[in-house]
Amino acid sequence: MRLSWSKLLKRVFEIDPEHCPNSGGELGIIAAILEQPVIEKTRTHLGPQADCGRMTTPARPEGQGAAARGPNA
């Protein structure tokens, strides 16, 4: 079973990308920036507040990957 992008973001980053954290209203994607040079230029323009760093821990603890969950997980 494949999870939607919003469910993956919610699981990994503990955010709900479908609802506004302030008003609770519905949110939607307006753009997806995938090219590395564009990402770097945007982060440079936004400054240090946009630098979220790298994830230092895996999304799932050791042994809890797809194989450990079983075929119907």
Look at residue 8 and tell me if it is in a domain: yes
Write down the pLDDT at residue 17: 83
The confidence band for 55, taking pLDDT boundaries of 50, 70 and 90, is very low
Who contacts 10 (Cβ-Cβ below 8 Å, separation ≥6)? 16, 17
Look at residue 58 and tell me if it is in a domain: no
**What's the token pair of residue 37?**
């040079």
Look at residue 26 and tell me if it is in a domain: yes
| Whole-number percent of the chain with pLDDT over 70 | 67
Q: Is the pTM of this model over 0.85?
A: no
**What's the token pair of residue 6?**
């919003």
Look at residue 28 and tell me if it is in a domain: yes
Domain containing residue 26:
1-49
Q: Alpha-carbon distance 63 to 66, whole Å?
A: 9
Look at residue 25 and tell me if it is in a domain: yes
**For the chain, what is the domain count?**
1
Look at residue 70 and tell me if it is in a domain: no
Look at residue 55 and tell me if it is in a domain: no
pLDDT exceeds cutoff 80 at 56: no
3-state DSSP assignment of residue 36: helix
Q: Alpha-carbon distance 25 to 27, whole Å?
A: 7
